[in-house]
Structure 1
């Protein structure tokens, strides 16, 4: 999990998760008040773990003839991928 660059306070999973889903909103440290922004490579990681696997499954890998089954599994893939992203993304301190 990412830590604050100033005081080494660890950001919570929830704070990072909400930051990613609300248009990459900056994170403010609760300890020292420093602002951290998501890096550009982390934005690609977020998309690679959430949207991309869902689209690939729905368009190319779906074994179902039923569109509801395909959509259900694709949404499941989206949820699992999005829950993993707070462990993979990185933030940098904004000046």
Structure 2
């Protein structure tokens, strides 16, 4: 889903949104020069989704007394796969506000 400017509905590209997410800057529309920023709810969702595997593994460890792993991959590799996936899909999950 393409994200659009809240003023003129111009679509923003993946790269522009990605840079704004991870550099904590605002997205400036090339057409109308309106500043769009990432909503607080999106920032909270990214924080919680980023920590989801850590919390899930902690709960799994408390209940079953061992850590969950994908095959024979080390736990850190499993987390890195999750974070790379999160990085790639993050521009599609954000909500913008004026």
| TM-score bin, normalised by smaller chain | 0.7 to 0.9
TM-score, reference length from structure 2: 0.75
4+ runs deviating over 2 angstroms: 53-64
TM-score, reference length from structure 1: 0.77
Offset of residue 63 of structure 1: 2.9
Q: Which has the larger radius of gyration?
A: 2
Q: 1:27–1:37: 8 Å Cα contact kept in structure 2?
A: yes
Gaps of at least 5 residues in structure 2 are 61-66
Equivalenced residues, count = 89
| Corresponding residue of 1:77 | 82
Offset of residue 13 of structure 1: 0.9
Offset of residue 86 of structure 1: 1.2
Gaps of at least 5 residues in structure 1 are none
**CA RMSD of the aligned region, Å?**
2.2
